Every structure is written in C-alpha cells, then in structure tokens.
Amino acid sequence: MISKELNLKLIEFLPEIKELYEEEVSWQEGDETGSHIVFSDVFVPYILKNFDNAEITKKNFKVIEDILNLHDEYADEVIALSVLENLFYEENIIDKVNEHLGLLSRKAFEQFKA
C-alpha cells in the first residue's frame, strides 16, 4: 500500500474528517501526502479532541483496528508509529486508550511499554 491508498482508506473509514484531511493535504502533495503526516497531524488530533465522546472514540478505535486488519506492512507501521505511539505519550488518557484497544491494536500498543 502507498500513502495515497492509505490516506483514502482513512477517509473511507472515517468520512467525517474529510474536511480536516483536505485542509492538511491541500498545501502539501494532496492525496499523495505521506500517511505518517496525515495520521499524526489529522487523525491523532481528531482522536484527542473527541476522546470525551464515547461514540466517536469507539468509532476511532474501530478505524485503527480496521486498518490493522488490512494486514499491510506500511499501514501497520503508520498506525503503530504515527497513531499509537502518539497516544502512548498522552499520559492523561493512557488508561482510557487501553480500554478501547482491539486485539491487533493492543498487540501493537504493547511494544511501547517494553
């Protein structure tokens, strides 16, 4: 998978962030913008902003799990390094993050505790 495919997959799974996504990529390479940038600068802030909304948070973590279920090396790397690692360092919500992790995301998240 390449950045463009993964970026569009994020929008497919989470269409409500399309406007935020377009704002971010409009001054870069559009859909070709690196997924690490998109996920860390668009998806992570969206997760954090909406963490008090249980329904949105549940959906956000389902998106993480759905992307990991693609079983794509690049997608796994982006989720691990640009999403889960950023969430790991949010000490004020770390316990809540743990509550929302699915099977694959929990496995990826555990590597940061080692």
| pLDDT tens figures, 30-77 | 778 889 999 999 999 999 999 999 999 999 999 999 999 999 999 999
- 100 by Cβ neighbours in 10 Å (0-12 / 13-18 / 19+) ranks as buried
Classify residue 64 as exposed, middle or buried by CB count within 10 Å of its CB (0-12, 13-18, 19+).
Answer: buried
**pLDDT of residue 113 exceeding 70:** no
Q: What percent of the chain has pLDDT over 90?
A: 70
User: Using 50, 70 and 90 to split pLDDT, how confident is the model at 26?
Assistant: confident
Whole-model pTM? 0.91
Instruction: Please state, in angstroms and rounded to a whole number, the distance separating the CA atoms of residues 29 and 41.
Output: 14
**What are the structural domain ranges in the chain?**
3-110
Mean pLDDT of 73-92: 92
pLDDT of 111: 80
Residue 108 has pLDDT above 80, yes or no: yes
| Mean pLDDT across the chain | 91
